[in-house]
Amino acid sequence: MAAKAADRVGPMAVQARDAASHARDAASHAREAANEKIILARGWAAPRLDAAAHSIEEQIAPKLSAMMSQAAAKIDPTPAAKSRKWPMMLLLTGIAIGAAGFALYRRSAEQWADTLKDSASDASQWVGRKTESAAGQVSGTANDAASKTESKADAVGDRADARADQVANSKKTP
């Protein structure tokens, strides 16, 4: 009996394997078809979503924003008074600051020029004093050297005279 059951089940198992293989192929084909349809649907929907987004951005959003701004202005307890004085005040302040800066620049430039003149004058006076001091030192050193040389020359001359006298006296007394 088991052998009969095995003979009946064997062909059914082969049929079941064949059916599973066909089902697998059909599922694969259905998956590919579904993927193609999804890509087509996305290609169709993307431009429409983009157009809707631009429409909302360009038409609905400005109107909604204006409505909200009007509502805010209506419920604001202290509306701001519009003043036309501040641009003129800003302009005049800028001109005043520019004039003050220019005046400070001119004064600084004049002080700088005066400082340069004073420092050049001071430098030339300093150089003159240094030159006079150096000339005095050189003159003093030269005078000292001259007096030493003169005293040595006098001493040598005196010795030479004395020697000459000795030589002359020794020749006279033979």
- Which single residue is written with the structure tokens 């909200």? 68
Q: In 56-84, which ranges are continuous DSSP H helix? A: 61-75
CB within 8 A of 41, min separation 6: which ones?
Answer: none
Concatenating the DSSP letter of every residue in 128-154 gives HHHHHHHHHHHHHHHHHHHHHHHHHHH
8-state DSSP, 59:
I
Q: What tens digit of pLDDT does each residue of 14-58 get?
A: 888 888 889 899 999 999 999 999 999 989 989 998 998 888 888
State pTM to two decimals. 0.30
Tell me what percent of the residues of the chain surpass a pLDDT of 90: 13
Q: What is the predicted pLDDT for the residue at 144?
A: 78
